[in-house]
Structure 1
């Protein structure tokens, strides 16, 4: 079967996303981003021009299609995650993003070089990074808009993105080397460990201190009062 996915009866064929992206990246690398047209991509991917435009509005949309799909996956993952270990959850989500990059090295490396030579692609990548950070921040702050939790949540989200990009850039310089998972995990631990405790637990206010009310007969001596209080506290008498 060619690089299309057969749809159910009565529905139009949908371009196989990975095949279209791979074809586009190859053309961008061989003949330049500006020189490549959507018609060129459609022909190289083996899909109709109409079908390509139905699912990808522009060359930028093709190049960043996997980013958009991955972000949707991350958002669903965060929405379904429990809130008892929020920082660990965000770190796991960042690991999923990293896995997405390193699992397609040919496309990732080519896109890395394209983004650095075409200014508007750089803007698109920055916008995508901001969307990841916003998703992490929203999960960590639980929709709150002010207060300490918001500050800490935004700081953790920014730190996770910075650590992710730092390790990814180092790998992109030597993509033939083993994927640096240990370095990735170490970077995440380094930038989040000091703030993780601030966001752990249910976020509920700490319980008020217990109050002990002691009732004793009037005229009772001080030693007897003290003894009864200690017995009530389970300390026993001296």
Structure 2
């Protein structure tokens, strides 16, 4: 009985993962408003009724996709923290500003690769659903806390403007993950991903004006 239960759970996890991958791809390419549950079911290769047994609403589907991308972001940030600890032990500490830049570049690269979910800024049902999604909120808070530590360190060491509210810096970095400038430059077909990432990183941290 235990073996059958374990197999059933494994099958359910595989199905859930297939759904989340489909949702993530559709959110990245079409956006939340244009995505339909029928499309998710078709993309995941299952009946709509089967999908609803695992996820009860479109909002819940979006939440699952966001949990997935936040897990990836946390893994990337934790990897940077490990590298920073090793560098510090070797006597070559990494600047918090460089770590923030690395996270920003990762977010834009993820967007350029079509793997960053795109959610509307104003949608009361979706917003309410995400705010009551413990898995999503726990990860969002964890990521915010990790980035806030680097922001504070960068400001106190003179690498970022100390007069700016830390939350302004944090929200600016989060905004790069869904920056329309990145998407527009990509759609133009005139620039490489590396160029786009370099330019938007530069304008984010250095601004548009020439230093005098």
- Say whether residues 1:89 and 2:89 are aligned partners: no
Compute the displacement of 1:64 (Å).
Answer: 2.4
Compute the displacement of 1:168 (Å).
Answer: 2.2
Query: TM-score by structure 2 length?
Result: 0.53
Check the 8 A contact 2:23/2:61 in 1, yes or no. Answer: no
Aligned pairs for 1:62-81 (under 5 A) are 62-81=64-83
Structure of higher CA gyration radius: 1
Check the 8 A contact 1:21/1:63 in 2, yes or no. Answer: yes
CA RMSD of aligned residues (A): 4.6
List alignment gaps of at least 5 residues for structure 1: 1-8, 192-238
**1:115 alignment partner, one of 113, 116, 120:** 120
Show the counterpart of 2:108: 98
Check the 8 A contact 2:22/2:44 in 1, yes or no. Answer: yes
Show the counterpart of 2:44: 45
Query: TM-score by structure 1 length?
Result: 0.49
Compute the displacement of 1:100 (Å).
Answer: 0.9
Show the counterpart of 2:21: 18
Compute the displacement of 1:141 (Å).
Answer: 4.5
* Cα distance in 1 for residues equivalent to 2:181 and 2:111: 13
Check the 8 A contact 2:109/2:197 in 1, yes or no. Answer: no
List alignment gaps of at least 5 residues for structure 2: 1-5, 132-136, 208-212
3-state SS of the aligned residue for 1:58?
helix
Sort the Cα spacing of 1:160 and 1:188 in 2 relative to 1 into closer, same or farther, 3 A.
farther
* Cα distance in 2 for residues equivalent to 1:137 and 1:153: 15
* Cα distance in 1 for residues equivalent to 2:79 and 2:164: 19
Greater RCO structure (CA 8 Å; 6+ sep): 2
Compute the displacement of 1:59 (Å).
Answer: 2.4
- Say whether residues 1:136 and 2:147 are aligned partners: yes
Check the 8 A contact 2:151/2:170 in 1, yes or no. Answer: no
Check the 8 A contact 1:163/1:187 in 2, yes or no. Answer: no
Structure with more helix by fraction: 2
